[in-house]
Amino acid sequence: MSRSSPRHRIGVDVGGTFTDVVTVSDGSLHVSKTPSTPDSPDEGVVDGLERTREGADVSYGDVGFFAHGTTVATNAVLEREWAPTVLVTTEGFRDVLEIGRQARPDIYDFDVTKPVPIVERDRRYEVTERLDERGRVEVPLDEGSVRDVAAAILETDVESVAISLLFAFENAEHERRAEEVLREEGVEGSYSLSSGVLPEIREYERTLATALNAALKPVMDSYIGRLESAMGEREIPTTLQIMQSNGGIIGAKRARERPINTLLSGPAAGVQGAAHVAGLQGVEDVLTMDMGGTSCDVSLVRGGEPVVSTEVDVGDYPVGVPMISVHTIGAGGGSIAWIDAGGALRVGPRSAGADPGPVCYGRGGEEPTVTDAQLLLGRLDPDAFLSEDLEADVDRVVRVVTERIADPLGMSVEEAAQGILDVANANMERALRVVSVERGHDPREFGLVAFGGAGPLHATSLAADLDVPRVIVPRTAGVLSALGLLITDLVHDFSTSMIRRIEEVSPEDLEPVFEGFEEEASDRLAGEGLDDDRIEIERAVDLRYVGQSFELTVPLSGALTAETIEDATARFHERHEGRYGHASPDEPVELVTVRLRARGLVETPTLAAAVTDGDPEDAIRDERAVVYDGESRQTAVYARERLPVDSTIDGPAIVEGTESTVVILPEQSATVDGYGTITVEVGR
């Protein structure tokens, strides 16, 4: 993949309602939105590319960079539509996937149902072998038992094989040989080995990650294959890049091998884009809020870097690979308002999605949504907010909201619409508290970056309720996830567990591990067109007190020496104090996992605001009645693309952009910077 400045750089993000395509060409930016196609997401991507070719005069032959954020793996997990998979494991560990962890999500719920195992019990097989905790062979691999397993597998309709043997993170030889024997016996399909997927401690998480990766490989392979075929038919010369959950991109080939790394592909791109936009303003600590058609994703950026965790759940499953810590709730523009059995108004998590979509889309929707409520309160212009393919049906919205919400609750249509927004905002406020207050962060010390098609409509109200001082709305708020793909580095993460008392660990123990990671990282990035001067290496170790169940990651800097290890131990105590409020410097510490992140730096496009001078009054498009907390007020409506740099707007005001609308509440004010970013001062 060339790292020279291509004429066209394209980022494509698939959302629940729309597929967004952002094209940067010689500093100029073009946005295309097309309805998503949930049954076949690649069709929506191709439709978006065709619109871009026509609308932005893009020659496919001049495309030099193409990155994609996908929900294919996520949807497969949530809907449990993965490939038939078998699991091969050490004798005695067949039921790890069902036993799971002792921890209960709700200790007072006696009817908890455990998640459905990725692999059914009759597709889980044991082989005779045993390694100890340092990878030393206690029982050699019995190849006869592997051949017996192969015979059983051949009687199934298996498409993928997961192999997770005990302590394979210390010694992968048994797993590799088991794969060789299975292949020799004619077991076809894709293979996933725990020593390659997640070579870390914790038997349940390691086996789960391996099984999940195996189950997703045929799904992702088919999807990426169709996309690459479409690119080939259009003679797009560059390679396809896929967004990872950890905040970096990888080549399509690697994504096919490690689909588990793409589970939060779309949300991760949005967080990266939000961190970049906030950084341009010199703001390094922000909450991020991505509200689209079906969900709202919230996250936290500290010191300019998204928070990355290995303790993120996707659906019912704890996935142990590094992911940007994103908390998702079912609150989007298409979230359906309904009345529960107790007569209370509820919003979500069910969504109208892309088809039929909200009632106002005019596609046959018969259930009121958040977007319909925004329309009734005047925040959205029925003649302007939809794409050219859609025409708002206001009369139908009034009828549906009246029948489904207003009449049953004995209120007016406007009161019902306000109630829908209040409930949706309460849901999102709780989500923002999860990633901030519940993790020891004070929202008053953060900004709020709002994006997604619906995010800027709600953000100023949420910020006021949380005492967040300012809201940052990027110029490309409606498609920030797609833009985030164009400013994201290539990233490869490596890890292996090595349980050792820290006093037993020497530089001679760690250096070969790091060097092996660095060599593999260099090969991967070189294969993706990166020169050495654009590669950064970050080393880290996971440490914990002896006897603890969980650990903290501590970065390593400089040459690896005995002093480096001592310094890391001292910083572990400091981090423990900061995270948990206490530390025990006299207690023994142990090394758990060695980590390395290789980052291939990409060129960040420079995007300036379209209008540099003039008067904000020149951008006023209209004036209309808008309801704020039950009070109707005449409100100026601004065209975002006509707002000049350094202009100031006093609320109440509505700023309508191509793909999102910003609501500035009464008593609030907003400014526009040189990048076209709108910053709303919330006040306290």
At the fourth CATH level, the homologous superfamily of domain 8-77+221-262 is ATPase, nucleotide binding domain (3.30.420.40)
CA torsion sign, 366 to 368 to 371 to 376?
positive
Alpha-carbon dihedral of residues 525, 529, 533, 539, nearest 10 degrees? Answer: -10
How many CA atoms lie less than 13 Å away from 181 in the CB half-sphere? 21
How many CB atoms are closer than 10 A to CB 340?
Answer: 8
Three-state DSSP state, 226: helix
Q: Are 453 and 475 spatial neighbours (Cβ–Cβ below 8 Å)? A: no
Amino acid, single-letter form, for residue 216: L
DSSP secondary structure string for all residues of 280-308? HTT---EEEEEE-SS-EEEEEEETTEE-E
Q: From CA 141, how far away is CA 130, in angstroms rounded?
A: 7
Cα separation, 597 vs 265, in Å, equals 18
Burial-class residue 684 by CB neighbours within 10 Å (0-12, 13-18, 19+): exposed
Residues 6+ apart with CB under 8 A from 190: 159, 160, 161, 214, 217, 218, 221
> 394-401 vs 413-435: helix axis angle to the nearest 10?
80
Q: Are the C-beta atoms of residues 610 and 641 closer than 8 Å to each other?
A: yes
How far is Cα 616 from Cα 645, in angstroms, rounded to an integer?
Answer: 9
Give pLDDT, residue 387: 56
Class of domain 490-600: alpha beta
Q: Which of 232, 257, 254, 229 is nearest to 241 (CA)?
A: 254
Q: Which residues pair with 544 in a beta bridge?
A: 590
User: Whole-angstrom Cα distance, residue 444 to residue 465?
Assistant: 11
pLDDT at 531: 81
Residue 212 · residue 206 · CB < 8 Å: no
Cα 357-361-363 angle, rounded to 5 deg: 70
For residue 74, give the nearest of 256, 331, 262 by alpha carbon: 262
The span from the CA of 587 to the CA of 573, in Å, is 10
pLDDT of residue 684: 53
3-class DSSP state of 20: strand
Would you state the pLDDT for residue 1?
41
User: 501 with 546: CB under 8 angstroms?
Assistant: yes
Q: Please report, for residues 36, 636, 645, 662, the alpha-carbon distance to residue 611 in angstroms, rounded to integers and kept in the order given.
A: 32, 19, 6, 18
Contact by Cβ (8 Å): 85, 211: yes
As given in the structure block, the two tokens for residue 344 are 């209370």
Q: Are 595 and 541 in contact (CB under 8 A)?
A: yes
Torsion over CA of 20, 24, 27 and 29, rounded to 10 degrees? -30
d(CA 239, CA 19): 20
Q: What average pLDDT does the chain have?
A: 90
Which pLDDT belongs to residue 169? 95
Which residues are bridge partners to 87 per DSSP? 124, 162
Tens digits of residue pLDDT in 99-154 = 888 777 677 877 777 888 999 999 999 999 999 999 999 999 999 999 999 999 99
Question: Which phi and psi (to 5°) does residue 544 adopt?
Answer: -155, 165
Task: Provide the 3-class DSSP secondary structure of residue 532.
Answer: helix
Strands 240-243, 63-69: pairing kind: parallel
Paired with 345 in beta bridges are 339
What's the pLDDT score for residue 678? 94
> How far is residue 237's CA from residue 593's CA, in Å, rounded to a whole number?
40
Could you identify the residue written with the tokens 């149902």?
113
Residue-level pLDDT at 200: 94
Q: What is the pLDDT of residue 2?
A: 40
Q: Which amino acid is at 452?
A: G
Give φ, ψ of 124 to 5 degrees: -110, 130
Retrieve residue 621's tokens. Answer: 């498009």
Contacts of 288 (CB under 8 A, 6+ apart): 270, 271, 274, 275, 297, 298, 299, 300, 301, 448, 449, 451
**264-321: per-residue pLDDT in tens?**
888 899 999 999 999 988 999 999 999 988 888 999 999 998 998 888 888 888 898 9
Residue 412 dihedral angles phi and psi, to the nearest 5°:
-75, 170
Please give the order of strands across the beta sheet that includes 490-501. Answer: 28-35, 18-25, 8-14, 63-69, 240-243, 249-251, 490-501, 589-600, 535-545, 552-556
Residue 461: which of 436, 424, 434, 431 has the closest Cα?
Answer: 424
Number of H helices, E strands in the chain: 17, 35
Strand partners, 552: 543
Q: What is the pLDDT of residues 214-227, one digit of tens each?
A: 999 999 999 999 99
Is the distance from CB of 86 to CB of 156 less than 8 angstroms? yes
- Nearest CA to 36 among 226, 293, 253? 293
Please give the pLDDT value at position 126: 97
In order, the DSSP letters of 611-675 are --SS-GGGGEEEEEEEEETTEEEEEEEEEGGGPPTT-EEESSEEEE-SS-EEEE-TT-EEEE-TT
CB burial class (10 A; 0-12, 13-18, 19+) of residue 2? Answer: exposed
Q: Mean pLDDT of residues grouped by 10 in the chain (684 residues)?
A: 60 82 81 82 89 85 90 86 95 93 76 86 96 94 97 94 96 97 95 96 94 96 93 91 91 93 89 92 94 88 90 86 89 91 91 80 86 92 65 85 95 94 95 90 95 92 95 89 88 93 94 95 86 89 94 92 94 90 93 94 73 83 91 93 91 89 94 92 78
